[in-house]
């Protein structure tokens, strides 16, 4: 694989805008530009097939990796993907849209531009995740009470309910505003 010096190579903003920060940080890559119908990325090692498929879906072109030092890649991510530097609304919509249509966010620059509007299906999924978390807090608390606390700490008590009154309200106070509350 060819080596690239990221101090002298500047990525294309259009390519950077289409790749979200989470994907870049998770795989330790830096998308550079489109060259000869190939998306060029800088990586420290060989990218996996999942990443290649992701780029093929986003750009409609294959991906080619070049080698760069981890320090240069991390500095590039910090520089080009600094909070507020990228309009990631377009990148999120590309990955979440089922028809492949891109939508532009009309309120760029405001606080809501960083959090794109969720579709009804996404809202329902988010609510279901919140309910699952809440229910497992009850189940887990009951299991801890019955199989850990009661047998080892209070073995003479016929029925001990302690953790089940502590954990679920705390979990509810954290889950409700983020997952269950309609905004």
Mean pLDDT of the chain: 79
Residue pair 30/83 in contact by the 8 Å Cβ criterion: no
Residue ranges per structural domain of the chain: 13-113, 120-180
Extract the tokens encoding 97.
């849209």
Specify the pLDDT at position 123: 86
Residues 47-106: tens digit of each pLDDT: 889 999 999 999 999 999 999 999 999 999 888 888 766 655 444 444 544 444 444 444
Full DSSP string of 85-120: TS-THHHHHHHH-SS------S-TTSGGGSSPPPPH
Superfamily of domain 13-113: Type II secretion system, protein E, N-terminal domain (3.30.300.160)
pLDDT tens by residue, 52-66: 999 999 999 999 999
Give the Cα separation of 85 and 104 in Å (integer): 17
List CB contacts of 61: < 8 A, sequence separation 6 or more: 34, 37, 38, 39, 55
**Tens digits of residue pLDDT in 26-47:** 899 999 998 888 999 999 888 8
- Whole-angstrom Cα distance, residue 128 to residue 118? 14
Residue 77 burial (C-beta neighbours within 10 Å; 0-12, 13-18, 19+): middle
Antiparallel, parallel or unpaired: β 63-67 and 38-43:
parallel
What pLDDT was estimated at residue 9? 87
Determine the pLDDT at residue 29. Answer: 92
As given in the structure block, the two tokens for residue 80 are 């080009």
Instruction: Please name the helix (run of DSSP H) or strand (run of DSSP E) that holds residue 34, with its range, or none.
Output: strand 29-35
**Would you state the pLDDT for residue 67?**
92
Task: Round to whole Å and give the CA distance between 183 and 177.
Answer: 9
């Amino acid at each position: 694989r060819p080596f690239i010096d990221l101090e002298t190579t500047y990525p294309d903003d259009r390519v950077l805008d289409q790749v979200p920060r989470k994907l870049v940080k998770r795989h330790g890559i830096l998308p550079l530009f489109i060259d000869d119908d190939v998306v060029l990325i800088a990586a420290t090692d060989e990218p996996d097939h999942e990443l290649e498929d992701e780029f093929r879906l986003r750009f409609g072109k294959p991906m080619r990796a070049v080698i760069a030092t981890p320090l240069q890649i991390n500095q590039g991510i910090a520089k080009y993907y600094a909070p507020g530097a990228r309009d990631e609304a377009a990148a999120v919509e590309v990955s979440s849209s089922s028809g492949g249509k891109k939508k532009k966010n009309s309120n760029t620059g405001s606080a809501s531009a960083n959090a794109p509007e969720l579709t009804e299906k996404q809202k329902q999924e988010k609510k279901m995740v919140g309910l699952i978390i809440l229910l497992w807090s009850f189940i887990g608390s009951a299991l801890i009470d019955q199989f850990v606390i009661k047998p080892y700490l209070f073995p003479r008590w016929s029925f001990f309910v302690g953790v089940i009154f502590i954990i679920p309200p705390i979990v509810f106070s954290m889950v409700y505003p983020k997952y269950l509350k309609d905004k």
